[in-house]
Amino acid sequence: MFFDYTEKTQNLIDKLQAFVDANILPVDREVHAWNADPANRWKPWPGLEPLKERAKSAGLWNLFLPEEYGEYSPGLTNLEYAPLAEIMGRNMWSAEVFNCSAPDTGNMEVFAKFGTAAQKKEWLLPLLAGKIRSAYLMTEPDHACSDATNVRTEIRSDGNDYVINGKKWWISGVMDPRCKVLLLMGQTNPENPRHTQQSTVIIPRDAPDVKVIRAQTVFGDVHSPGGHCEVHLKDVRIPKENIILGEGRGFEIAQGRLGPGRIHHCMRSIGSAQRALELMCQRVTERTTFGRMLSDRSSIRMEIAKSYCDIEQARLLTLKAADAIDRHGARNAKDLIGAIKIVAPQMAQTVADRAIQIFGGMGVWQKSSPHSVLSALQMVPTNCTHPSSASSRSLNTQNPVPVGITSLKLDCYDCEYGIAALPPRRASVLQGPDPNGISQGLPTSTTAAAAARSGRTVAIVCTAMERCSNRLCET
């Protein structure tokens, strides 16, 4: 492959970088502050739509669609788009400004590549115009779905309809009020060979019996306005024309969707890591410890040098994968696609950790400039467990402290199941002595921690059940 960008690509890089510098970086803190404010939960930042119109007018729109998509594509290859995705990755939210954010990018590729004319008219065109958003339902709480052949959500034929039953979770974007369509991967033909059991269907977001059970947090962040949610489907009925490509083609569709998407995700992670590196370089020239600049310390210089090397290696490997997809197709590039899926997230997390160490306390302070970059990088590879595996109703530790609490009744005990905003979470002891007064007026999480230190099993009873719409605690 050639290591120099074409003139067309370089012009787009310059144009995109200028747009980001002029329009996105100046409002970065404002956007993060808006999204972090509970009063704005599930509401897009008001300045987003004007920015999108500006990007569209500048010709920086739908850049992700490869040239083989014809009329829908701006004519770029995966290799040409890769450095643009890196620039967008420098800010966690900026890809949406250019209509290049997940999960919409993958869903648009599915509609463009596999959809019928009617499906494209109803869903693809509004997505391409940035008028609506979408979600992709694959991962399940009860089955390991990193291998898509393990999906078990039932799609049952019933006359002219399909009836869908199952549970999905970590569904990104479903809380966004602009989300109007869901693509779901489920099982239509369990008797078929392993790779032809699944199908992909279209579900309108407002379909009856599509229930959002809870918003899931990633390291304490719900990622408003889109969120990541657990979604249950109970006898959801859709017409058979809502299937994409036909029964048993779901795995094929998923693999076609994921190939270019890996390039997008990896290059955005590289962009975030590059920004973290630049912040590190700035920090060490401003910070003095024990009479010496951080930049003069050999251990600091070594960490920065290693970060530079790691980023360059991940970037080159990802560009090689993009070039292989363009030349030979995603199927024949699967080994390189798999490699970047491993290398890029690990690199990004390693660089983020180094940056946190160099920034010290500022690296983990939510109001600091580098925090949004570093926290996003720390969340790249995540390991999750279903909440039912960890008790939210009882606590027990092996480090007894004679506090004397035997039972607590809590007002919505840090409930992750709640979607709507609830009153301030406060606790009061209704049973048992509280000689140290630890629970009076304290946030629930603090009270629970103190209760745990008592070394006793503590009953946690929710007093907000009547106003909680989800009631998942009962199960």
**pLDDT score recorded for residue 6:** 87
* Token duo for residue 401: 């402290």
**pLDDT score recorded for residue 408:** 36
**pLDDT score recorded for residue 372:** 59
Give the three-class secondary structure for 453.
coil
**pLDDT score recorded for residue 219:** 80
**pLDDT score recorded for residue 386:** 30
Q: Which of 383, 312, 323 is nearest to 347 (CA)?
A: 312
**Strands (DSSP E) along 255-325, which ranges?**
288-289, 292-293
Q: Which domains, from first to last, does the chain contain?
A: 252-378 (1.20.140.10), 391-474 (no CATH)
The burial of 335, by beta-carbon neighbours within 10 Å (0-12 exposed, 13-18 middle, 19 or more buried), is given as exposed
**pLDDT score recorded for residue 473:** 40
- Alpha-carbon torsion, ordered 354, 356, 358, 360, to 10 deg: -150
**pLDDT score recorded for residue 145:** 85
CA distances (Å), 400 to each of 405, 451, 456, 457, 473, in order? 11, 10, 7, 11, 27
**pLDDT score recorded for residue 66:** 86
The burial of 259, by beta-carbon neighbours within 10 Å (0-12 exposed, 13-18 middle, 19 or more buried), is given as buried
Per-10-residue mean pLDDT for the chain, 475 residues long? 83 97 94 94 97 97 90 92 96 95 95 96 97 97 88 97 97 97 97 95 97 92 95 98 96 84 94 94 93 94 97 97 92 93 94 91 66 58 33 30 34 35 33 37 40 42 44 37
Backbone angles phi, psi at 127, to 5 degrees: -70, -45
